[in-house]
Structure 1
Amino acid sequence: MFDQPITAFQPGPGYLSLKGLPILTDPNDYEGVHIAVETLASDLEKVAGVKPEIWTTTAGRSRVPGLIVVGSLPRCRFLSEVKAVNQTSRPSNSSIEGTWESFETSICTSPWPVADRVFVIAGSDKRGTIFGAYTLSEQIGVSPWYWWSDVAVESREQVYALPVTVRQGEPSVQYRGIFINDEAPALRDWARDNFGPQFNKAFYAKVFELLLRLKANFLWPAMWSGYPEPGSSFFTDDPENQALADRYGIVVSTSHHEPMQRSMTEWHVANKDTGAKWRWDAENKSTLVKHFSGGAARAKPYESVITLGMRGDTDKALDMDDPVDTMRDIITTQRQILGDVYEAPENVPQVMALYKEVQSYYEQGLDIPNDVTLLFADDNFGNIRRLPTSAEQQRRGGCGIYYHLEYVGHPRSYKWMNTNSCGKIHQQLSQAYDHGVKKLWVINVGDIKPLELPLTFALSLAWDINSTTSDTIPAFYDNYAAHTFGSDHATDIGRLLLNHDRLLALRRLEHIDTDTFSVLSYNEADVIVQRLIDQENESSALFDSMPEAHKAAYFQLVHYPLRATRLFIDLQVSLAKNQLYGEQRRNTTNVMATRVLDLFDLDYDLTQQFHHSPWTGDKWNHIMKQPRYGFDTKTVGGNYHTPTRDMIRGLSFVQRRQDSTPIAGQMGIAVEGHAGIMPGLANEECCRMQPSRGGRAVGLHLPSLSSYGRSSCYFDIYCRGTRPVVWSIESRSHIEWLSVTPSTDTLDPDDAQDQRVCLTIVDWSYVPVGFCAVVDIGIRSTDGDYEEVHLPVDNRRVPAGFSGFVESDGCVSIYVGDVPLTKSQQAFYQHLPYLGRLPSGAVGLASLPSPDPVLIPYLTYSVFTFTALAPATVTLYFTMALNAHVDGTPFAYDIAMDGVVKQGVPLAGRCHASDLPEGWDNATQDLVWTRKHAFDMAVAGPHTIYYRPLARGVILEKIVVDFGGVRDSYLGPPSYSPVEGRPVVRL
């Protein structure tokens, strides 16, 4: 996607037309090269309409306008012949000779009389050649995912090779690939429909080709154990799978708990009747040794990476008295087996997955041979647990990372569709790379197809870590859109995908419940849903304008994710409103219940449209069938298991044929930001309801309006009975600067919507300077119902010359990404504009070794407060990350204000085994850490907050100073622009 151009579709000086040119390849070259050449020929036919002949000799051939020569330096004799006649006029390919997976392309003089010129794709080895061939395929317009996503290939009258020599050096990461995991029910059932009852060679041929087109070379194959019994086994489901992988050029390994090229399914099948247990003890050790030996011997003819170690059955910790000593014996025995099979254990690449408790064994002193790759892991939710030390980076076996884009496990699974933000993937993987994690990246992709976009992004970084930076992520989306759909709509599609990414960064879909986004505070839920609706509408318009040939891919890759996300979140928010309205006894409770059910049906309709497409028929039946509604929220501590069937719970209904009690009346009032005091409940002896008095008046206090914050708010008028409500606002002619719209209307009990009344400051210049009071607004119905709402208005002003953030509505909220870095700060910090939950991004230390903390300048934030409070609460919101440093780097920060300095405040403690830091369960779903500090702000006026991180990975998104006005919400109070400009809310 980001490779240097080697093709064009218009002629130019020195260009060579590739249309119809034969492809010359050495019959002695690797079989994988021949497979790639066959595919390249088909791709050229798709684009140019003529399928090239494939030649293995030039002898006896008729003259042609040119040739495409594809070969590897070790095996293709034609490359030597080309070099012999071009060595004085063309750069040699000696720079790639002996390198790993490199290739070179160039137009050269032909050494054969059948053609004058040749376009050469020369690879340093088998996969280097394959990647060169597939680079040509991609650049002529064949997406790596063309089969998997039904991407249309645009016909071209001509395709030209450019007269430039392009060298692609060694990839950034040596082994790069995927783990097909948690493949039931979606991928499993889809594959059974299309390829048979097992994951056979026909299925894996599609996977292998996809990986190579994405310039990947590594696979942990599908291994789900269980229904249908006995589960998946790459090695036995189809005996040809392993040999086919090797022919294609895919390096096969086995997952973190399947050692020695054996699947757990194989063990269960082989020992179903023997009574042998997956346990390294005197009773079972000999059986396990035989099992491991068989796996190693079977793998010997093929290119493999052997997984060492052992976890307990069903991917749990070893159940042994001394697991560290047990693991030592396991590794020693496995290495002896490899020595017997491969003559010496170091003759075959090996990996030790430091997953969960295995990491703690290593840190407790478990010795792992130097030639074995240390495979570190994330927390299963995209947060890397451990980075290698400088000494570990020098290991002969190098270091790798096991990284999840989906997961089944605690605290809650996520596996339906993509819920990964590329900003987070980039930050985590690039930081790992900077710490020497360059040997192996394995990405857990579940069902493959739903995770096309983040997998493409991750593998593009593995191929070239510099292909995307933290601030060029939009370019990735634009390029992805252009390569998939052509240039006509690329900018619009890229923007849509980027905006969707920013919404995914709020929270993973399966982690969203009815109480996640506030339907009361800061318009939070409504703003999010409206953003989703706007995106969906834009996508629908684009969809309608797309050529018919692109609609299948557009639906799968763009429209389905956007619409499915909107339906899911809209349903959760609507259910929350239904429950709130029920407590308030609104007539529209039932309307909202119907809306929830309608959304529930629309969600299923959309899935069925994916499964039974008007463009591709039943090709993708089952692939999006993962249930996602109905997670268990009642079990103490949570229940991570995905639902077996979609279900919604907690719908509320009111009795529409019944009036409220007379003391409550038929007119209801609900103000923004408050559910109401004793909503729906009344005691005629003590609750005089008209208007609400005493403690109940709190439930009718609106958010404060401020010249430095919001200028409008609302309250709802609703029916709670069987009769129409004719209402009006009492006269307020003395407050000309306050607009109340509408001021009178009639509500019918069958109306589908309640009446929203907006209160807006018309012009702050009309409000008396220094005005700070509560405006009471009365609402009366013709039935005699009466209520008052209370609107705080604050027009206090800061002194001339102040620059910074000003208190409004009882707090100060700062999006730190909105504050420009000074020139001196830029030497230490970087703005990460596409990381985190906020539209402004986040700020962290630059991507270089952390300097001495004493040298790091503070970031400063000026605030002005009207409230004096001792203490006030300062809350910091940090992008979710783990303390991955073990070299003594403090995963901490300093914060100071008004002379009080708090140094070395830990953000999160080190994590060992499964004992992740306190609060991880919530933070990994919230996608932020929050840390609260108390500061004495007993004097109103200007204050300065000083902050600095002490390590990379300590990344700040937001600061909130609370003077008692902060209301419960997911994202916290929105930020307003500093006083230099008019206040513009950003949620």
Structure 2
Amino acid sequence: MPSRYSRLLPADWQDAYFQLVYYPTVASAGIANIYTATTRNHLYAKQGRPLANLHAKQAEELFEKDKRLTCYYNDTLANGKWKNMMSDIHIGYTQWSMPKQALLPSLQQVTLQDTPSLGICPEGCEATDYTDKLALPLFDALLDQTYYIDLFNRGKGSINFTATPSQTWIKVSQPSGTVKTETRLQVNIDWAAIGNGTHEACLTIKSGETNFPIGIRAVKGQAPDTKEAYFGNLSKTEFSIPAYLYNKNVPGKDAAWTELPDLGRGYACMGISPVTAPSAQPEEAPYLEYQILLPDTGTVSLCIGILPTQDVYPERGLRIAVAIDDEIPEVIDARQGFVDTFGEYNPANLAQSPNLKPLPKQDKTIKLTGSKQLRRNEVFDILHMLTTKLHVKKAGMHRLKLYMIDPEIVLEQLVLYPDNRYPSYFGAPAVRHQ
């Protein structure tokens, strides 16, 4: 199976290239794309979007491509030297054991209506009907977002539309047009046209006699007067901080946080060096400091994403500490949400053992933790989310500090104001203000 890069290699390197580079890359990406296409097929079918059929076809084509790759590896590569090497089933898992045969997930087809009919789907919305008021996510002057609205035709032919904002500060990429299959409108805000505060308006999509009002909310405020890079926003909405983008890295008495490139799901993680360092109390522990903007007082939820690990020293624990500004650091038990697979932490063992400690409960109300969600756990996510609360006494800039207590913790991601309306694996995309 020649590729763009294999053509640059000599003939006697081709088999090794296929085994070590091409197959692992293309086959694993193909599996991800199969499930992505399948998920989109299911979502679009619920919405009555004909685009569901295109994604069904894409999933089927990718499934057949995977078959061809497997057959080539087993039967053709190196003249059949690796017969059955790739015969294990790798598509169609619904539990830990291998399925009996590779099965493409069920796909759905959407039948076009006889006459054109407009459907809409604002960004962040999965609604299958329009009984609830539709709205775009909140616009924030500090983030200067552009959101989209998908318009789609459920029937045959084409259909006209208009997009009319109730206020002139709402900018839409296409105020009118015709939809044959799908059209995406881009919406943003003319920030120079509004003052500080929260503003509400409406964008109405109209087709024939049918109106679709879409709520628009925008928040504008004064950007903080600081020369340091910082994270946060004006709207109290979810934001993320990659652990390696700290403002200060302060070493402790016996250890320091160090960057671990190419580890985790992002660019890098932060781990402890040396890994054999003793545990420490916050006053002698290394810490990372992040500049953050919190626009209001009160309680703020914080998710701390660490790499999965084990309760290696039960008598000592597995801990990290967090503080805001110069407040006393709060020590967090990083065993939150651990799955007691073998029942070790049962009442009898806890009563008899001088070392075992009960597993702390996880905040299951925050979807980012993945609790009780299909195919969500730290094995699949390669991430374990801890949860805690910050108590903010004044609005504005703050210093968020993460302290090592035990050296086994590897820190990857921080997420503040986690928002269950927009669940994700990793939190909102990180935006660092310079």
TM range (shorter): 0.7 to 0.9
Corresponding residue to 2:98 among 637, 642, 650: 642
Written as runs of structure 1 = structure 2, the 5 A alignment for 1:112-511 is: none
User: Residues 817 and 586 (structure 1 numbering): CA distance in 2 closer, same or farther, change over 3 Å?
Assistant: same
Contact 1:894 1:901 in 2 (8 A): no
User: Residues 565 and 958 (structure 1 numbering): CA distance in 2 closer, same or farther, change over 3 Å?
Assistant: same
Higher helix share: 1
User: Residues 885 and 643 (structure 1 numbering): CA distance in 2 closer, same or farther, change over 3 Å?
Assistant: same
Name the residue aligned to 1:779: 205
Corresponding residue to 1:746 among 154, 175, 178: 178
Determine if the alignment matches structure 1 residue 616 to structure 2 residue 78.
Answer: yes
Name the residue aligned to 1:729: 163
Contact 1:865 1:942 in 2 (8 A): yes
Determine if the alignment matches structure 1 residue 718 to structure 2 residue 173.
Answer: no
Task: For 2:29 and 2:243, locate their aligned partners in 1 and report how far apart those are by CA, in whole Å.
Answer: 28
Report the AA paired with residue 277 of structure 2: S
Name the residue aligned to 2:139: 705
Name the residue aligned to 1:836: 264
Determine if the alignment matches structure 1 residue 627 to structure 2 residue 52.
Answer: no
Contact 1:829 1:845 in 2 (8 A): yes
Name the residue aligned to 1:818: 245
Residue 80 of structure 2: SS of its match in structure 1?
coil
Name the residue aligned to 2:355: none
User: Residues 600 and 775 (structure 1 numbering): CA distance in 2 closer, same or farther, change over 3 Å?
Assistant: farther
Name the residue aligned to 2:294: 865
Report the AA paired with residue 383 of structure 2: V
Task: For 2:17 and 2:234, locate their aligned partners in 1 and report how far apart those are by CA, in whole Å.
Answer: 44
Report the AA paired with residue 650 of structure 1: S
Determine if the alignment matches structure 1 residue 927 to structure 2 residue 355.
Answer: no
User: Residues 743 and 560 (structure 1 numbering): CA distance in 2 closer, same or farther, change over 3 Å?
Assistant: farther
Q: Give % identity.
A: 19
Report the AA paired with residue 906 of structure 1: D
The offset of 1:817, in angstroms, is: 1.1
User: Residues 898 and 827 (structure 1 numbering): CA distance in 2 closer, same or farther, change over 3 Å?
Assistant: closer
Report the AA paired with residue 293 of structure 2: F
Contact 1:589 1:652 in 2 (8 A): yes
User: Residues 796 and 916 (structure 1 numbering): CA distance in 2 closer, same or farther, change over 3 Å?
Assistant: farther
Name the residue aligned to 2:121: 670
Name the residue aligned to 2:41: 578
User: Residues 673 and 544 (structure 1 numbering): CA distance in 2 closer, same or farther, change over 3 Å?
Assistant: farther
CA RMSD of aligned residues (A): 3.1
Contact 1:666 1:785 in 2 (8 A): no
Task: For 2:8 and 2:163, locate their aligned partners in 1 and report how far apart those are by CA, in whole Å.
Answer: 47
The offset of 1:878, in angstroms, is: 0.7
Corresponding residue to 1:846 among 267, 273, 276: 273
The offset of 1:624, in angstroms, is: 1.3
Report the AA paired with residue 555 of structure 1: F
Task: For 1:605 and 1:837, locate their aligned partners in 2 and report how far apart those are by CA, in whole Å.
Answer: 29
Moved more, 705-714 or 579-588: 705-714
Report the AA paired with residue 807 of structure 1: N
Corresponding residue to 1:896 among 288, 300, 323: 323
The offset of 1:733, in angstroms, is: 8.5
Contact 1:830 1:844 in 2 (8 A): yes
**How many residues matched?**
400
Residue 104 of structure 2: SS of its match in structure 1?
coil
What whole-Å deviation, never above 9, does each CA across 1:268-297 have from its counterpart, x for those lacking one?
xxxxxxxxxxxxxxxxxxxxxxxxxxxxxx
Residue 817 of structure 1: SS of its match in structure 2?
coil
TM-score (norm 2): 0.81
User: Residues 629 and 657 (structure 1 numbering): CA distance in 2 closer, same or farther, change over 3 Å?
Assistant: same
Contact 1:811 1:965 in 2 (8 A): no
User: Residues 966 and 976 (structure 1 numbering): CA distance in 2 closer, same or farther, change over 3 Å?
Assistant: farther
The offset of 1:600, in angstroms, is: 1.3
Contact 2:73 2:83 in 1 (8 A): yes
The offset of 1:670, in angstroms, is: 0.6
The offset of 1:590, in angstroms, is: 2.0
Residue 577 of structure 1: SS of its match in structure 2?
helix
What whole-Å deviation, never above 9, does each CA across 1:94-150 have from its counterpart, x for those lacking one?
xxxxxxxxxxxxxxxxxxxxxxxxxxxxxxxxxxxxxxxxxxxxxxxxxxxxxxxxx
Written as runs of structure 1 = structure 2, the 5 A alignment for 1:874-913 is: 874-885=302-313, 888-897=315-324, 901=328, 903-908=330-335
Task: For 2:37 and 2:17, locate their aligned partners in 1 and report how far apart those are by CA, in whole Å.
Answer: 28
Report the AA paired with residue 397 of structure 2: P
Report the AA paired with residue 876 of structure 1: I
Name the residue aligned to 1:788: 213
Written as runs of structure 1 = structure 2, the 5 A alignment for 1:515-664 is: 540-613=3-76, 616-632=78-94, 639-657=95-113
What whole-Å deviation, never above 9, does each CA across 1:434-491 have from its counterpart, x for those lacking one?
xxxxxxxxxxxxxxxxxxxxxxxxxxxxxxxxxxxxxxxxxxxxxxxxxxxxxxxxxx
What whole-Å deviation, never above 9, does each CA across 1:622-642 have from its counterpart, x for those lacking one?
21121122222xxxxxx3111
Task: For 1:899 and 1:820, locate their aligned partners in 2 and report how far apart those are by CA, in whole Å.
Answer: 16
What whole-Å deviation, never above 9, does each CA across 1:929-987 have from its counterpart, x for those lacking one?
1111123336432233222121222111111111757621112212111x22xxxxxxx
Contact 1:816 1:842 in 2 (8 A): yes
TM-score (norm 1): 0.38
For structure 2, the 5+ residue unaligned runs are 346-358, 363-370
Name the residue aligned to 2:224: 799
Contact 1:575 1:593 in 2 (8 A): yes
Task: For 2:212 and 2:19, locate their aligned partners in 1 and report how far apart those are by CA, in whole Å.
Answer: 51
The offset of 1:900, in angstroms, is: 5.4
Task: For 1:923 and 1:963, locate their aligned partners in 2 and report how far apart those are by CA, in whole Å.
Answer: 18
Residue 56 of structure 2: SS of its match in structure 1?
helix
User: Residues 931 and 731 (structure 1 numbering): CA distance in 2 closer, same or farther, change over 3 Å?
Assistant: closer
Task: For 1:820 and 1:896, locate their aligned partners in 2 and report how far apart those are by CA, in whole Å.
Answer: 15
Task: For 1:611 and 1:745, locate their aligned partners in 2 and report how far apart those are by CA, in whole Å.
Answer: 52
User: Residues 544 and 872 (structure 1 numbering): CA distance in 2 closer, same or farther, change over 3 Å?
Assistant: same
Contact 1:587 1:656 in 2 (8 A): yes
User: Residues 791 and 545 (structure 1 numbering): CA distance in 2 closer, same or farther, change over 3 Å?
Assistant: farther
Larger Rg: 1
Contact 1:612 1:618 in 2 (8 A): yes
